Amino acid sequence: MAESIFPADFLWGGAIAANQAEGAYLEGGKGITTVDVIPHGKDRMAVKLGVEERFALREDEFYPSHGAIDFYHRYKEDIALMAEMGFTVFRTSIAWSRIFPNGDEQQPNAAGIAFYRDLFSECKKYGIEPLVTLCHFDVPMHLVREYGSWRSRKMVEFFTHYARICFEAFDGLVKYWLTFNEINIMLHSPFSGAGLVFEKDDNKEQVKYQAAHHELVASALATKIAHEVNPENQVGCMLAGGNFYPYSCKPEDVWAALEKDRENLFFIDVQARGAYPSYARRLFKEKGIVVEMEPGDSDILKDTVDFVSFSYYASRCASADMNDNNSNAANIVKSLKNPYIEASEWGWGIDPLGLRITMNMMYDRYQKPLFLVENGLGAKDVVNEQGEINDDYRISYLREHIKAMGEAIEDGIPVMGYTSWGCIDLVSASTGEMSKRYGFVYVDRDDQGNGTLARTRKKSFHWYKKVIASNGMDLD
Ligand code: BG6
């Protein structure tokens, strides 16, 4: 076989998030978080968007995060399966409310620390590097109720305290960290992204960008703390990626696509370049936004990340006439339908070349190593009479995207690794379904929470094992 185009130390693995996998939502002293109050069903979107306040649980509703796939109790079995595929990296998140049930305590919850120490030690046992997100779509509900979540500057203090406790408690076990998962999603899904709930008279843009400023300051401070605790620590930001294409070559469409890209890249521009981008002044003026900053914030923001991580599921499309009626959501971010590409069962465009385009744009812009920490195909799987799951569609999606990532490496981009999303089936963040599956490992659970939770290797499991063993060269 030809020599691999992937570096010898390239990290191969998969990704999950605490709130979509762990379940056990009140065990081990865990506090309730934003995702725990987001129901499955018709009201889900309104709650996620922060337009419907839902602080208390209802008996007539089903909350998928409460049980999820029970990773909390089954992680040893699951990590063993990841090790069997040859993973060298495993991405998960820490549930903030396992460490600080309310979020504003001084002393962490010992049971939460113990759980993650055990989990990360289990990974290390197999030579798997944990890649850990501090905040993946779960803010302790107490912080939402008492402080309005990231509206409040107090959150910077709570988050950095939490971050320091994690860096210290897991020092020697974890060296790859991400601060906020898909930080730009707070603009598109404000409650699930950042715990924001809107009042009737709010200027929503004002609320969102003030919250964004707090997160950006908190992220830069956490990055600095991580380096102080251990200079070996490497910290990344995380973008819900996918470039916008202009719907046509009409200059107005090209401009619309550029503006849409900037809307998302705004966050990474700050985290990777250390200052607000030049276009922010006009953006804020036109939207009537005044971001309150404290003296010293611009110095704090200079602590930039070590690498830029991102998710990529689909490219996006924008035109000057884009509106709520003609655009759908591709991974929550609104996009026009691209007539040149196919789409998944959930309408997410399938565009491997878009990954290469996105990676090239990001490296041209940031000049920092990239890490593709989410990519995959959400699809309905069928268990046949022999108990097998022949997910060729998933293999085909992943194959083409890994090829495109290889092309980006050949284009000269340093790429640290690849963690495909939902390496074991888990709860969908957007819809709350279990039937939107991404895994190499099938989990017997349905959308209403029924099932044995038994784990089964899919066809893609055996395929990915070969991919890893050949360092990305055997994709057949
Ligand atoms: C990303 C998130 O937005 O996409 C994950 O970081 C999420 O949490 C993933 O699960 C896939 O989206 P979905 O809606 O299919 O679960």
pLDDT tens, N- to C-terminus, the chain (476 residues): 678 999 999 999 999 999 999 999 999 999 999 999 999 999 999 999 999 998 999 999 999 999 999 999 999 999 999 999 999 999 999 999 999 999 999 999 999 999 999 999 999 999 999 999 999 999 999 999 999 999 999 999 999 999 999 999 999 999 999 999 999 999 999 999 999 999 999 999 999 999 999 999 999 999 999 999 999 999 999 999 999 999 999 999 999 999 999 999 999 999 999 999 999 999 999 999 999 999 999 999 999 999 999 999 999 999 999 987 788 777 789 999 999 999 999 999 999 999 999 999 999 999 999 999 999 999 999 999 999 999 999 999 999 999 999 999 999 999 999 999 999 999 999 999 999 999 999 999 999 999 999 999 999 999 999 999 999 999 99
147 lines ligand 1 (CB under 6 A): no
Question: Residue 189: CB within 6 Å of ligand 1?
Answer: no
Measured from the Cα of 378, ligand 1's closest atom is 15
Q: Is the CB of 461 under 6 A from ligand 1?
A: no
Q: Judge if pTM exceeds 0.85.
A: yes
H or E element, residue 374: strand 370-374
Across 28-69, where does the E strand assignment appear? none
Strands 307-311 and 244-246: unpaired
Look up residue 236 and give its DSSP letter: E
Q: Is 311 in the pocket of ligand 1 (CB under 6 A)?
A: yes
**Is 105 a residue of the active site?**
no
Gap between the Cα atoms of 401 and 399, Å rounded: 5
E strand residue ranges, 47-146: 89-93, 129-135
443 lines ligand 1 (CB under 6 A): no
Q: Whose CA is nearest to atom 8 of ligand 1?
A: 429
Q: Which is catalytic among the residues 22, 122, 182, 215? A: 182
DSSP reduced 3-state for 357: helix
User: What is the rounded CA–CA span in Å between residue 284 and residue 68?
Assistant: 40
The answer to whether 230 and 175 are in contact (CB under 8 A) is yes
Tell me which residue has its CA closest to atom 3 in ligand 1: 331
Q: What angle do CA 427, 215, 201 make, to 5 degrees?
A: 85
Q: Is 215 tagged catalytic?
A: no
11-469 maps to CATH 3.20.20.80: yes
- Residue 347 CA to ligand 1 center (angstroms) comes to 14
| Structure token pair of residue 273 | 């370049």
